[in-house]
Chain A
Amino acid sequence: MFSRRPVLVEIVTAAVLIAVPFVLPALDAAPNTVNRILVWGLFGIGFDILFGYTGLLSFGQSAFYGTGGFVAAYLLTRAGFPYVVLALVIGMVAAAAVGYLIGLLALRRTGIYFAMITVAIAEIFFFVEFNPLSEWTGGENGLPGVPTPRFDLGFATLNFSSGWSLYPFLAFCFFVGIVIALRIVRSPVGVILTAIRENPLRAAAVGHNVQAYKLTAFVIAAAYAGFAGGLLGVLQGFMPPDAFMFETSGQLIMQTAIGGRGTLFGPLVGAGVWLFLQDFLQATLKLGAAWKLVLGLVFVLLVCFLRQGIIGGIRDLIALSRGKVQAPAEPAQEAAPVAAAPVAPMASRHAAGEGRQGPILQATGLTKRYGGVVANEGIDFTVQHGELRGIIGPNGAGKTTFFKMLTCEVPPSSGSIVFEGRDITGMSIIDVCQLGLTKSYQVNQLFNRLTVRENLTIAALAELRGKFKLDLFGRLANIAGLEEQVEHTLQLVNLGARTDTPVSQLAYGEKRRLEIGLALASSPSLLLLDEPLAGMSPRERVETVRLLKSIAQGRTMIVIDHDMDALFELAERITVLQEGRVLVEGTPDEIKGNALVQDAYLGGVHEEELA
């Protein structure tokens, strides 16, 4: 993702595009086919950003392809608009606007339901194009007579008509499209999109406005689709209604998967394979209509075995030949012993710092009911600034639910929460994180296919940029303080040796540390830790406790755990929950000797207790 030679891709692309008209005719390639490949490739760039990078599988791209295409075609034919490129841009803007509106609707659901809504959208648009709007769109006929662009430069006239003469224009459009897409993908927004793909829950929990970013990706995809649709009309001299058909969306998806998703060039490669095979199988092998069967089989095989498509396969081959093993390895055992040099505490950026007094968090009457089950009942809970509070309780006591309410991951059934003097009841988890309250999870919620550094960057970005910022063309390097914050967090959780390792290859203990690191990177003033020691070996526990002590400086922490020895060592005060209510609160010593607590854990048998 973070390419060390960012301009290389652009240069190679330009070189290839320029070479094509010299090389391909010798190979008997039809110029029209090459032009079509370019148009599909451009259409697919936007889709790849939506699907490959953000993980949203939409079957409705044909709706925007058609919208852009028909708006442009209408302007150029019926309305007699003379400027081709400007019409294309207007078509693109129209498609993006429609994409925005549709996105507001469709993105309210995720996964399969999202996919189903997009299918419905595609079908509805096709119908609308055909019937009610047939005055404008020509219905089944489409809009014939779309002109090709010509530019009057004074000293020469550039007329791009068809075949190889239209190629330079299309190649240029594609090049511009890919350059823009590369910038977007390398920008902070691009990084956040991949985070959303990997773990949308966590992306929100570290403070990013996931909905807004998804909508951004959706609109970008719609814009690319709209421009490509306009180009289709120009290419054929005719804007066909099939642009709106569901099959168009399906073909785009298949081409992207065949070429390789998440690569930006995947759709281009996929289109090349598709169109080449279509010609080759029909003309040379005389297979007739069976070419689509072959393509279907190729597609299924690729989905099964080459998850990253052809480009991914090539990448793996290259890496394999270089001797690096690319397949997810066994998570490495922890290499060096954890020698935590004391690291200076990271200043928490939020309003609270050292020196503030009084309660940082006050929960009153917090209750949560799930149907008839009461998970938490009437909890009153206050934590002072700078405190290290522990929470213990037997299973089913409602500890995790309590944390979820505090971070506003779930809304309470009744009660209120005041953080830093502000009532945060009913806020979203995104806003709460931005205010400085966040938690690390009991079950790791990491961005699995990204590296350690990338994980931390995502969390830090939310802190430095706020919950939503549309810096599509920004550079990560230009974000002040990002590098330091990530480095600092790496040091704090002692993962400096593993910065460029993908999460899937980390050992369990390292993953737990990263989990804490993610929460830390948001610079919270109040950090909640849900069973940070879960599943750890004794040695790892010792290290983690040391880590927790070091990060406790300068911030307030609340820790849930079952390891009472560790908690008693760490915490200044302990709250005990049982069956959704606060049982008792006190210092570790008070809690140790409390009969009620022993009852709660052991079920009433006190005689067996050992010191």
Chain B
Amino acid sequence: MLTWSNFLSQLFNGLAQGALLALISSGLTIIYGTLGVLNLAHGAMFMLGGYAGYLAFQATGSFVIAVIAGALFMLVVGVVMERVVIRHFYARPHEDQLLVTFGLSIVFVELVRFFFSSDSKTVPAPAALSGITSLGVMFYPTYRLAVVGIVAVALLVLFIVLYKTRLGMIVRAGIEDAVMVDSLGIDVYRVFMVVFGIGAMAAGFAGIVNAPVVSLSPDMGEAILVQTFVVVVIGGVGSFPGAVIGGLIAGEIISLTSMVNPGYAYVMLFAAMTLVLLVRPRGLFGARGRE
């Protein structure tokens, strides 16, 4: 229904969803930008981070530890995955890379299903952040508000790493031209490993932070993956600001379409992606020539 209050509420909803998407998509975009590999297992990584955090929470009862555990676990997973599998695929055609990451995503999902069964697991929000906040126009779960804040901080940290550190500079150079970075004597494979790890960590962090909102299930990564594609396409491949802006735009497309008919929300998203791919394939911030 199209009323002002609904509009504002959904706008806000979109911000919350968009923030999460922005974080996950940043991970995907720097991986694709630097390594040239479209990581189809990215959604599964989001899911794995959530479960790792869940385990940590079961063991310690502390949400903060759960978040840290989830993020660190995914950093390790990302690094290992790059070294053991992805590294051998750089020389192989794109299709093979897609196939192997696709296969890995299935393996991850089924591993989790095997150990945890398909029932959803809940991680409760930390007490300090639970409850409802009144926003004037609407009531909003406090934790979802907190997620926006947490994600904003995470994105800020990522920004600082990428733009204010030496490592970040190398990574951004690698996104531009990995061969050149290699020629300059920098171990580009180590950079790839780090980038993959960071990308995975971003997804995993998002996974555990999001757990109190929607509860964990093995299949939760699949829907997220497709939405992340859309964000990366809209924002531009390899662009961190693109992922952030793209994420927010995607979140708003979903929530504003929901005002009219929630069933169409995801279709609108895909339609938007197809449109961008046909009209301006490099997206909002992407570099030309990456098509």
Contact = CB atoms under 8 A, between A and B. Distances in A.
**Contact present between A and B (CB < 8 A):** yes
Interface string A92-115: 000000000000010011111101
Interface in A312-345: none
A300 interface: yes
8 contacts: A109-B278, A111-B94, A113-B233, A113-B281, A124-B271, A250-B102, A257-B99, A299-B106
Contacts of B102: 250, 253-254
Contact of A253 (B99, B233, B266, B277): B99
Contacts of B38: 112, 115-116
Interface in A274-327: 289-290, 292-293, 295-297, 299-300, 303-304, 307
A127 interface: yes
Interface in B218-256: 222, 226, 229-230, 233
B100 interface: yes
B110 A124 contact: no
A585 interface: no
A190 to B, nearest CB: 19
Nearest to A130: B263
B114 interface: yes
A140 to B, nearest CB: 13
A303 B93 CA distance: 12
Contact of A304 (B85, B229, B267): B85
Contacts of A110: 291
Given A123-B270, A297-B107, A289 B118 contact: yes
A379 interface: no
Interface in A555-596: none
Interface string B27-43: 00000100000100000
B113 interface: yes
B273 interface: yes
B152 interface: no
Nearest to B270: A120
Given A112-B94, A307-B96, A292 B106 contact: yes
B162 interface: no
Given A113-B281, A250-B102, A297-B107, A119 B266 contact: no
B107 A116 contact: no
Given A124-B271, A293-B111, 5 more contacts: A57-B95, A105-B274, A120-B226, A246-B226, A254-B103
A131 B263 contact: yes
Contacts of A303: 96, 99-100, 103
Contact of B266 (A112, A127, A290, A292): A127
The 8 closest A-B pairs by CB, nearest first: A293-B110, A296-B106, A300-B103, A120-B270, A296-B107, A57-B95, A299-B103, A292-B110
Contacts of A297: 107
B88 interface: yes
A134 to B, nearest CB: 11
Contacts of B95: 51, 55, 57
Contacts of A307: 96
A84 interface: no
A12 to B, nearest CB: 29
Contacts of B281: 109, 113
A304 B88 CA distance: 8
B131 to A, nearest CB: 35
A116 B103 contact: no
Interface size bracket, B side: 35 or more
A402 to B, nearest CB: 20
B91 to A, nearest CB: 12
A486 interface: no
Contacts of B114: 289-290, 293
Contacts of A123: 226, 266-267, 270
Contacts of B271: 120, 124
B147 to A, nearest CB: 25
Q: Is the interface of A mostly helix, strand, loop or mixed?
A: helix
B194 interface: no
A127 B267 contact: yes
A59 B85 CA distance: 22
B100 A300 contact: yes
Contacts of A49: none
Contact of B226 (A108, A109, A113, A119): A119
Nearest to B105: A296
Contacts of A55: 93, 95
Contacts of B109: 296
B278 A105 contact: yes
Nearest to B222: A246
A369 B206 CA distance: 44
Contact of B274 (A120, A131, A253, A304): A120
B98 interface: yes
B221 to A, nearest CB: 13
A73 interface: no
A292 B218 CA distance: 13
A4 B38 CA distance: 40
A117 interface: yes
B168 to A, nearest CB: 25
A293 B113 contact: yes
Nearest to A257: B99
Contacts of B113: 289-290, 292-293
A186 to B, nearest CB: 23
A127 B262 CA distance: 12
Contacts of A57: 94-95, 98-99
Contacts of B270: 120, 123-124
Contact of B98 (A115, A121, A246, A290): A115
A105 B273 CA distance: 12
B150 interface: no
A290 B102 CA distance: 18
B104 interface: yes
Nearest to B106: A296
A57 B101 CA distance: 14
Contacts of B85: 300, 304
A304 B110 contact: no
Of listed A110, A119, A292, A300, residue having the most chain B CB within 10 A? A300
A304 B100 contact: yes
Contacts of B107: 293, 296-297, 300
A120 B106 contact: no
